[in-house]
Amino acid sequence: MSAQKTSASRTKPVSAVGAFIGFVGFSALAGLLVTIGVTPAIAVAGVTTTSTIGVFESLPEYIEIGDLPQRNELYAYSGGKSVHFATLYDQNRQELKYDQISDQLKNAAIDGEDKRFYSHGGVDMTSLIRAGVGSIAGGLGDSGGGSTLTMQLVRNIKMNEALNLPTKKEQEKAYNEAVEQTIPRKLEEMKLAIGLAKKYSKKEILTAYLNIAYFGDQTYGVQAAAQHYYNKSATKLTPAEAASLMAIVQYPEARNLSTPKKYDANVARRNVILRSMYDQKNLTEAEYRTARLSKPADYVHLTQPSQGCRASVGDGSQFFCDYAKKVVLEMSQLGSSQKARDTAWRNGGYKIQTTLNIDLNAEQKQLLNTYDNKAETSLALGATLNSIEAGSGRIITMAQNKDFDESLKSAPTSTSLNYSVDYKYGNSGGFQTGSTYKLFTLLDWIKTGHGLNETVSGAERVVTPWTICGQTDYTKFDVSNDAPGEGGNWSVLGATAGSINGAFASMAQKLDLCDIRDIAQSLGVHRADGGELQYQNPSAILGTNEIAPMTMAAAYAAVANNGIYCKPIAIDQITSPSGKQLGGQTKDCQQAVDPAFAQAAIYAMKGTITSGTARGAQTPDGTQMFAKTGTTDEADQIWLVGASSRVATAYWQGNTDGKKNNLRHYSNGVNGTYAGSRADVWRQAMTAVNATYPAGAFTDPQPTAIRGNAKALPNLQGKTTDEARAAISGAGFNYVDGGARPGTGNPGSVSSTSPSAGALLSSGSSVTVYTSDGSQANVPEIGGDSLGDARSALNDAGFGNVSVSDDFAKGGGNKTCKVAAVDPAISSAADKNAGVTIQLYGDKNGKAPKDCK
């Protein structure tokens, strides 16, 4: 509903006939009121003596002043103290008590609007009759038909009641009826004014009027008006300032002080009010003269109201402000139904203590401004930093690289989308998480008894089958790694640090994809769009679900908290308009995974920082931390999520328009590419977090968690295939024939295995066995032997093509003619048909001796 409609709307002059009817109507009203209340005492008593009085008495009698719409104030934390950072309201109003309002303002209201306020019973006979006479000239008189302050209060109450109706159509209808200047409406106003005068004291009525009146330029009540127009409180106003404010109420849009263009209209009415204040002996002659000679330009200091999340204090706090408001509107402290909560919020007066650390949030916003350019034109770049307190779920930060702007014509550097949260709260559908999702496979791996030192294959390949909710599924998943050279066998510790896709596919193949999903859900993980978490496609284990950054931060915070998941909360306390503390969001924590499983996962993910994909993320304070990186296939979404034992922080950056621009190929203009700087940015963010939330060491897992239920693969080299098959089967592994390879030993004997001997493997693991074709032999140890002995040893080993080099090594003495070196080298495996060259020692100068046999 537009605030341009005011408490003192005016109708256009009526026709002569209409004016005459108006005069007759007001004459009748006057007679009626003389009949029922010639004096205030009789009017209040409601004496009835005629049938006309019956019509009057059939109208509603009472109206409640009720709670006036006020400001809602949001608070954050700075330096450990609560600080105000945002003002949200439906109407810009700050309610004052009677004793807080300037006496000059009270006098201006009464002397200017209702001189007999203290002597009438809600309706002033003298003014009413004068208004009736005035109606002959057109309308209902300059004062809206002889309206007292009490009658004006009635009108304002009904206007505010109209604005609280559920639909815009209902609001407009009721609002128009409230401001309608007709005889029936005036009758109702008078009746309700008499009811107010019966129920409330003069102080209460005057205070309510001054708090409810509209003062133009989206400002309600004298306190907001004084702050807006004078940049001061309504507690202390000069006569000129007080009269100027009261000059506004009859015609708020024409006489407000928002522009010098309206000063003349304001001054004309102001001076009438000042004269009335002087006549009523509420101003001395000197005060009156000074006030009349003053100019609005001398005392108007226009201050724009800092309302709405866009105007919230603290760099980058705007997105959290918007989120907190939406959360509050869901809380039962404001009402049991959404309609009740919406009404309570519109009425306002609440003080909301949020969880936001405004200092840390500003630091993270500055990091994003530096490393994730909001003005980037090569791609639609978004980035967030979200920190959540482990053990409580309290949201400490919610920073975003873009600026907050809800307008339809926001700049490219701004958006109304909150990338940190679910679509429900920020209209963002989340982002693919990449390998940060591997945490849940890791946890299920540990939960099912597997160890961190267990060996798995990291090979790129087509993987099938899978187990999904206990059923075998033959979906084929073509797994590729992020970089060349990541195939081969890996310990789970190494695979976690290096984020090896093939290895995690091997791990997931030994698990149930439904169990991995359940682990994720137990840690609060869900799709940002509200849909079902996808798990049927095996690619989901590598992070294909679109999830909000704050959700991932909360999941990692749970792991840091020994497996106890706490739902994110943004509200610590709500204080009602009356000052009663209503409580905040209830801390909601539960043991999602066993502490031993969380400790083992942390142990593995520490390696990501010390030697893996998050090298450079360690803070200089030495705080123990763990982390996991995430990169989508096209590197269009880049993540780093990790935690200390106190706080988890998720850093996300990516394309926000669905395109696949590779963030490894775009410079951030500071220290490399966007993707390449993630560890550096996260480290800087956590350095500040650790200073505010000092963290202790993590608990190391038990040795059994590191080893798990795996068995060591025995050394099978030289065994026959039958012996190898029996040993592998006996250990619970699967024998895979890798075929013959060039090798030493007897043809058909085991030359090597993959994994190699000593690897820890779980039951059912495959062991590939390679046999020797006998084509190779190991060069024997012939160093220092005579040439004859060397030839014999080589021939015995199977080498028949032996030659002596013409190049001699420096020798002399007893070294002369002895073997100095051999190619291929001693102990190396070489093809038996390949030539072997022997180098002998010569004399001390390396020259050929006279004879070497």
Q: Determine whether 548 is exposed, middle or buried from the number of CB atoms within 10 Å of its CB (0-12, 13-18, 19+).
A: buried
DSSP state of 771: E
Q: Which residue has the tokens 């004879």?
A: 851
- pLDDT (tens digit per residue) in 616-648: 999 999 999 999 999 999 999 999 999 999 999
Residues of the chain with pLDDT under 50: 1-28, 34-52, 55, 133-145
* Reported pTM: 0.78
Q: Are 767 and 798 in contact (CB under 8 A)?
A: no
For residue 166, what pLDDT is reported? 73
**Residue 156 to residues 67, 204, 619, 712, 814: CA-CA distances in angstroms?**
12, 15, 59, 84, 121
Distance (Å, rounded) from C-alpha 204 to C-alpha 208? 6
Q: Is 749 helix (H, G, I), strand (E, B) or coil?
A: strand
CA 244, 249, 255, 256 torsion: positive or negative? positive
For residue 173, what pLDDT is reported? 87
Distance (Å, rounded) from C-alpha 120 to C-alpha 150? 10
DSSP state of 764: T
CATH-assigned architecture of domain 710-774: 2-Layer Sandwich (3.30)
Give the E-state strand segments of 763-835 in sequence order: 766-772, 776-778, 802-804, 819-823, 829-831
Instruction: Report, in angstroms and rounded to the nearest whole number, the Rg of the chain calculated over CA atoms.
Output: 42
Distance (Å, rounded) from C-alpha 661 to C-alpha 664? 9
Q: Are 397 and 362 in contact (CB under 8 A)?
A: no
- C-alpha distance across the termini of the chain, in Å: 114
Helix, strand, coil distribution of the chain in percent, nearest 5 = 40, 20, 40
Distance (Å, rounded) from C-alpha 440 to C-alpha 515? 9
> Do 779-840 and 710-774 fall under one CATH topology?
yes
CA 822, 827, 829, 831 torsion: positive or negative? positive
**Residue 204 to residues 53, 98, 190, 759: CA-CA distances in angstroms?**
28, 8, 18, 85
Q: Are 545 and 530 in contact (CB under 8 A)?
A: no
Angle between helices 285-293 and 263-279 (to 10 degrees): 180
Tell me the DSSP string of 59-84: S-------PPP--EEEEEEETTEEEE
Q: Is 412 helix (H, G, I), strand (E, B) or coil?
A: coil
DSSP state of 545: S
Q: In the 3-class helix/strand/coil scheme, how is 340-374 assigned residue by residue?
A: HHHHHHHHCCCEEEEEEEHHHHHHHHHHHHHHCCC
Which CATH fold topology does 16-299 show? Penicillin binding protein transpeptidase fold (1.10.3810)
Give which of 157, 123, 163 is closest to 34, Cα–Cα.
123
The alpha carbon of 202 is separated from its chain's Cα centroid by a whole number of angstroms, namely 49
**Residue 68 to residues 2, 72, 233, 353: CA-CA distances in angstroms?**
17, 12, 19, 22
Give which of 605, 588, 593 is closest to 562, Cα–Cα.
593
**H or E segment at 395?**
strand 395-400
User: How many distinct helices (H) and strands (E) make up the chain?
Assistant: 29, 32
Domain spans in the chain, listed from the N-terminal domain onward: 16-299, 308-708, 710-774, 779-840
For residue 40, what pLDDT is reported? 38
For residue 128, what pLDDT is reported? 67
For residue 220, what pLDDT is reported? 87
- The alpha helices in 693-836, defined as continuous H runs, are 703-707, 721-730, 787-797
**Residue 665 to residues 385, 400, 617, 629, 773: CA-CA distances in angstroms?**
22, 22, 21, 18, 48
Q: Does domain 308-708 have CATH number 3.10.20.30?
A: no
User: Could you tell me which CATH number the domain at 779-840 has?
Assistant: 3.30.10.20
DSSP state of 716: -
For residue 686, what pLDDT is reported? 98
Q: In the 3-class helix/strand/coil scheme, how is 309-328 assigned residue by residue?
A: HHHCCCCCCHHHHHHHHHHH
Distance (Å, rounded) from C-alpha 378 to C-alpha 636? 13
For residue 41, what pLDDT is reported? 35
